[in-house]
């Protein structure tokens, strides 16, 4: 089981409290598709992803970015058992979506970059550490049910 | 994953813009490397103070950023340009090459923090590719 200090819980809660889902969600997914273009393989039905401009103006990418970001809510609400909370989502990503679990870390890194951009120097080393720990637990849980 | 002409142009112009803050960026990036990824502290057991923003970190952060800026100058042949640095890391420092991408990750995070408007997705991918090449060049002499 993952141990969380009070400070770590507070840091993560703070980030979620001030999170603008409609802004951060799209930005994180757009950045993932631009910086790691092989991730586009999972979005064949999303239309025009040919270049950065297309990705940045693609409404399906923006909408899905918000969906993915809200997916983190359940982890934030169940920090003491993220592994179990995401068991079903892990099966979905493995059996139905066939996503290479290495990609989870790529999206997590892009999300960290977007949040750093929004928080500026408020994204202190302590907050970054708590946030990256949270994301690595999420990434691990999402990869857990692959076989 | 080679650098296109556009990538090189974006990297050169972004690094020119951030050059005045190289010391601050290096300080933040190295502080975060040691704090967020504590296994990296094993390479600095000879430092008294490894807390974020310490004098040793600030000084060394500038050394590291200067290295990256030098690699930008040599962007057309990074592998050859960094041979001496690779030897240093391979034979003297013996840093596990897996750590190179930890520090470059933190440089990207700090770039986003300090330059949210300029660090666009296109600049991000160009820098990420550039750092990939730098990290590969640093590993060149290891075995």
The domain of B76 spans: 5-139
pLDDT at A74: 94
Q: pLDDT for B69-117, tens place per residue?
A: 999 999 999 999 999 999 999 989 989 898 999 999 999 999 999 999 9
Which residues from chain A sit within 8 angstroms of residue B108, using beta carbons?
A: 113
B1 pLDDT above the threshold of 90 = no
> Of A141, A135, A134, nearest to A83 (Cα)?
A141
What is the residue-wise DSSP string for A38-52? GGGGGGGGG---SSH
Burial of B63 (0-12, 13-18, 19+ CB in 10 A): exposed
Q: Domain with B44 in it: what CATH number?
A: 1.10.490.10
Mean pLDDT in chain A?
95
Based on the structure, what is the number of domains in chain B? 1
Residue B66 to residue B12: CA distance in whole angstroms: 14
**Interface contact A31-B121, CB threshold 8 A:** yes
**Interface contact B112-A116, CB threshold 8 A:** yes
Q: pLDDT for B113-127, tens place per residue?
A: 999 999 999 999 999
ipTM rounded to 2 decimals = 0.77
Residue B100 to residue B90: CA distance in whole angstroms: 12
Q: What is the DSSP letter of B94?
A: -
**Interface contact B122-A52, CB threshold 8 A:** yes
Going from the N-terminus, what domains does chain A have, and what CATH number goes with each?
6-143 (1.10.490.10)
> Which residue among B32, B124, B128 places its CB closest to the CB of A128?
B32
Q: What is the mean pLDDT of residues B19-43?
A: 95
Report, as ranges of residue numbers, the positions in chain A whose pLDDT lies below 50: none
pLDDT at A147: 85
């Amino acid at each position: 089981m993952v141990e969380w200090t009070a400070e770590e819980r507070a840091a993560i809660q703070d980030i979620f409290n001030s999170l603008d889902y409609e802004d951060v969600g799209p930005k994180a997914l757009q950045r993932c598709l631009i910086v790691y273009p092989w991730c586009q393989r999972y979005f064949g039905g999303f239309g025009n992803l040919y270049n950065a401009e297309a990705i940045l103006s693609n409404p399906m990418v923006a909408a899905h970015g918000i969906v993915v970001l809200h997916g983190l809510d359940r982890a934030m609400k169940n920090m003491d058992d993220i592994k179990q909370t995401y068991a079903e989502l892990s099966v979905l990503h493995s059996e139905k979506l066939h996503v290479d679990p290495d990609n989870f870390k790529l999206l997590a890194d892009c999300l960290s970059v977007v949040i750093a951009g929004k928080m500026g120097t408020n994204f202190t080393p302590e907050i970054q550490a708590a946030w990256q720990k949270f994301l690595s637990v999420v990434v691990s849980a999402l990869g857990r049910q692959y076989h | 994953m080679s650098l296109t002409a556009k990538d090189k142009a974006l990297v050169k112009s972004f690094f020119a813009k951030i050059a005045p803050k190289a010391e601050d960026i290096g300080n933040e990036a190295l502080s975060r490397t040691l704090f967020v990824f504590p296994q990296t502290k094993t390479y600095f057991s000879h430092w008294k103070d490894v807390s974020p923003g310490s004098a040793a970190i600030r000084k060394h952060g500038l050394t590291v950023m200067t290295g990256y800026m030098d690699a930008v100058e040599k962007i057309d042949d990074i592998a050859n340009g960094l041979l001496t640095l690779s030897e240093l890391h391979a034979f003297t420092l013996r840093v596990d090459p897996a750590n190179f991408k930890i520090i470059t990750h933190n440089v990207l995070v700090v770039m986003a923090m300090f330059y949210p408007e300029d660090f666009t997705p296109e600049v991000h991918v160009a820098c990420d590719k550039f750092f990939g090449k730098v990290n590969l060049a640093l590993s060149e002499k290891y075995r």
